[in-house]
Structure 1
Amino acid sequence: MTRNLHGQVVEEIGSAIVGGKLHPGDPLPGEAQLAAQMEVSRTILREALKVLAAKGLIETRQKTGMRVRDPRFWNHLDPDVLTWRCAAMPTEDFVGKLVEMREIIEPAACMAAARRRDPEQLAAIGEALDAMEESADLDAWAEADLRFHEAVLAATNNELLSSLFSVIETALATFFVMSARSAKNFKYALPHHRAVYEAIRRRRPNEAAQAMRTMIDDSRANMRKGRKK
């Protein structure tokens, strides 16, 4: 129960900060007042505040007390911070940064996967592609889409690259759902995924990278159209 209360406090304050209800420089109430407001013990509150400070969201200064930190100090790759940011309506600026992140990471990952993948890793990419094709709704599509991109990163056989998936999973899931919702048919990107798979299967690194760039460019264009509607 204590752990649940601790998590609830982290969630409530963290989402308020990242979601914009609390602004950079805003003071938080004193420890006693905040604990009373949240109906938790001061011990639980202190532990939650330590977690939020470790995420870069708050800081404590002598005389001025606890304050919300500027976003440039936030740990933007922290899974909770990403979740809170994606739960709030993602801004066009944030979506642009997601696209840029994908442009930097995924074409290079496709090149590495085309060079190094083994039969089992190729099969995992193919199974995710099949699941995308068979998906009956947006949720099933998004889940299979995530599996596809996770399998590509795993096929690089670079543990640093493949470990990135657990960090950016929430952001990618948000991006894929937003992109699919913007299209008339949520399976519109299936041919792009198939092109990536085929290039990796044929061990053609440059083609794999270009297929991924085309996929990302098309997603960006599709989302822009959706925002103009």
Structure 2
Amino acid sequence: MAIQARDKRPRSVHAWVAYELGTRIVSGVYAPGEYIPNEATIGEELKVSRTALREAFKLLTAKGLLESRPKLGTRVRPKESWNMFDSDVLKWCFESQPSPEFLRALFEVREVIEPSAAAIAAQRASEEQIAAIEKAYNAMTEAETETEDHILADIDFHMAILRATNNEFMVSLGESIKTALTGLFRISSSQESEYVGSLPGHKAVYLGIRDRDPERARFEMKSLLSKSVRGALESLGQENQNMDVAV
């Protein structure tokens, strides 16, 4: 059965082809270890040139999704080889209805990084950086719920904390997973009650950092993330139930 290509072409054709094939890979249409159709087949289906296909293959290879095998073809690499911190790969995963296991894995990464980041920020943040965290929190309280504004304010809050560590590796990692944070916040903050309910936790993290109390900041961030993962999984479960009913 032919696969229906999505009509979401960006500025460059090869980027659109990479998007189309990338979403197929992360959603399991092309499974790890499987050889994807040859250039002629995909080119005919997507109505693109071999040049565009080869550029797309290069892009997906650089992201760890594909590998070329002489005389055999192009194969999907094992999941452990995928660059999961790549913004495109993360975006494709969220567009492909992420599983509860995927969300738990992301939250586990956050639970490793963000409580420690909050503790470090409480020790190292400048007054300007603390003011930036406060500004982001205030923007969260003022943002209209169920809009892009409250998601952006939430991201700004967490990124401000990572920057306040004054650790270039943490800041860089935060920039790499910003796409993941956006996807997570869209799921876990999809209901007004969940978003409003998270505000006291965010404030507690901010106060711990402002008061220069590392262990309190660490504890409050860990508590905030624990509640967030429950909200995200519950929201995902509800979405799946609605899809089952619709089917």
Structure 1 counterpart of 2:125: 117
Moved more, 97-106 or 179-188: 179-188
Residues 68 and 75 in structure 2, CA contact (< 8 A), matched pair in contact too: yes
Contact 1:183 1:222 in 2 (8 A): no
Map 1:79-90 to 2 at 5 A: 79-90=87-98
Structure 2 Cα separation of the partners of residues 67 and 197 of structure 1: 47
Q: Flag the 1:31–1:224 CA change in 2: closer, same or farther, 3 A.
A: closer
Change (3 A) 1:203 1:155: same
Deviation at 1:34, TM superposition (A): 2.5
Q: 1:7 to 1:201 in 2, by over 3 A?
A: same
Q: What displacement does 1:226 show?
A: 4.0
Distance 1:30 1:141 in 2: 44
Residues 181-190 or 110-119, more deviating: 181-190
Map of 1:64 onto structure 2: 72
Structure 1 Cα separation of the partners of residues 170 and 202 of structure 2? 19
Which letter does structure 2 place at the counterpart of 1:200? I
Aligned: 1:141 with 2:141: no
Paired residues of 1:57 and 1:68 also in contact (CA < 8 A): yes
Superposition TM-score, scaled by structure 2 size: 0.86
Q: Does 1:97 align with 2:105?
A: yes
2:44 equivalent to 1:36: yes
Deviations 1:79-128 (A, max 9, x none): 11111011111111111111111110001100111111111111111111
**Paired residues, number:** 229
Name the SS for the 1:186 alignment partner.
helix
Query: 8 Å contact 1:14–1:81 — kept in the other structure?
Result: yes
Aligned to 2:134: 126
2:196 match: secondary structure: coil
Question: Aligned in 2, Cα 1:10/1:228: closer, same or farther, shift over 3 Å?
Answer: closer
Which amino acid letter does the alignment assign opposite residue 64 of structure 1? L
Three-state SS of the structure 1 residue aligned to 2:30 is: coil
Report the Cα offset of residue 25 of structure 1: 2.8
- Give ranges in structure 2 of 5+ residues lacking alignment: 1-8, 239-247
Query: After the TM superposition, which of the residue ranges 33-42 and 8-17 deviates more from structure 2?
Result: 33-42
Q: Does 1:196 align with 2:218?
A: no
User: TM-score, normalised to structure 1's length?
Assistant: 0.93
Aligned-partner SS, 1:115: helix
Quick check: 1:58–1:68 contact (8 Å CA) kept in 2? yes
Distance in 1 (CA, whole Å) between partners of 2:63 and 2:237 is 35
Post-superposition Cα deviations, 1:33-71, rounded to whole Å, max 9, x if no partner, equal 322332222222111111111111111112321122221
**SS across alignment from 1:26:** coil
What pairs up with 1:132-171 in 2 under 5 angstroms? 132-138=140-146, 139-171=148-180
Q: Is the deviation greater in 24-33 or in 55-64?
A: 24-33
What percent identity do the matched residue pairs reach? 41
**Which whole-Å CA distance do the structure 2 matches of 1:222 and 1:45 have between them?**
40
